[in-house]
């Protein structure tokens, strides 16, 4: 197959890429654009490490064709905050010690971001947080500190 041009809006910036029609968004982010914060693992939408935001909503970039994202806003972990201006979720993950190996964390934080945006300032319950994160697997931490971190970020976002 031959490559053809595609325009993608990622973290607010427009990117022109030459891609093959069957490439997933994950392949383009990591392989073409060097945005390695989005991780690759199961490639079947089971584990959630490849989660990015599409028009603000968490999606699995491993089973989304890049072509399906034309004209839509993509946010990766690189676009959420920077070392000097962390997002409240990132601060809460650090403070709660929610990170061990770290591989699931970009997907975990973006899944939580999408969920908290849907809560619109309402404080979610712990079961709601656990359900919201169910499509994003962590094999290190046992989840408790991740859930604590999301709850902490939710309280701070509600207060702010």
Partner 1 sequence: MGFAFHQPDSVASAIDLAHRYGDAARFIAGGTDLIIQINRKRLTPQHVISLGGLGLDDIRETSGEITIGATTTHNDIVFHPGFQHQLVALAEASAVVGGRQIRHVATVGGNIVNASPAADLVPALLVLDAVVDLQGPAQARSLPLDRFLLDRGRTDRQVDEVLTAVRFARPPMQSATAFLKAGRRKAMEISVVCVAAHLVGGPGTGFSKVRIAVGAAAPRTFRATGAEALVGARGDDGTSFAEAGRLAAEAAVPIGDVRASARYRKLLVAALVERALAACRDRMRGAGAQGAAA
Q: Which residues bind partner 1 (CB under 8 A)?
A: 1, 20-22, 24, 43-46, 48, 51, 54, 57-60, 63-65, 67-68, 70-71, 111, 114-115, 118, 130-132, 134-136
- Comparing CB distances to partner 1, the nearer of 86 and 135 is 135
Q: How far is the CB of 85 from partner 1 (least distance, A)?
A: 26
CB 136 within 8 A of CB 126: no
Rounded to 5 degrees, what angle do the CA atoms 149, 129, 155 make?
Answer: 50
- Comparing CB distances to partner 1, the nearer of 15 and 67 is 67
Q: How far is the CB of 35 from partner 1 (least distance, A)?
A: 18
Q: How far is the CB of 8 from partner 1 (least distance, A)?
A: 14
- Burial state string for 123-138 with b = 16 or more CB within 10 A and e = fewer than 16: ebeeebbeebbeebbb
Which residues fall within 8 angstroms of residue 14, CB to CB, at 6 or more apart? 7, 8
CA distance 76 to 11: 7
Q: How far is the CB of 55 from partner 1 (least distance, A)?
A: 9
Q: How far is the CB of 36 from partner 1 (least distance, A)?
A: 20
- Comparing CB distances to partner 1, the nearer of 56 and 97 is 56
- Comparing CB distances to partner 1, the nearer of 123 and 134 is 134
CB 31 within 8 A of CB 71: no
How is residue 145 annotated by DSSP?
A: H
- Comparing CB distances to partner 1, the nearer of 85 and 120 is 120
């Amino acid at each position: 197959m031959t490559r053809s041009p595609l325009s993608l809006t990622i973290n607010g910036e427009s990117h022109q890429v030459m891609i093959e029609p069957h490439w997933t968004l994950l392949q383009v982010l990591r392989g073409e654009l060097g945005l390695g914060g989005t991780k690759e693992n199961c490639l079947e939408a089971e584990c959630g490490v490849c989660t990015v935001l599409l028009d603000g909503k968490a999606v699995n970039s491993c089973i989304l064709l890049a072509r399906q994202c034309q004209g839509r806003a993509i946010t990766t972990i690189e676009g959420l905050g920077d070392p000097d201006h962390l997002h409240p979720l990132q601060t809460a993950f650090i403070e709660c010690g929610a990170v061990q190996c770290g591989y699931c964390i970009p997907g975990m934080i973006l899944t939580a971001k999408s969920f908290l945006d849907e809560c619109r300032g309402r404080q979610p319950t712990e079961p709601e947080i656990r359900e919201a994160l169910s499509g994003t697997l962590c094999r290190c931490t046992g989840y408790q500190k991740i859930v604590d971190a999301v709850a902490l970020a939710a309280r701070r976002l509600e207060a702010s």
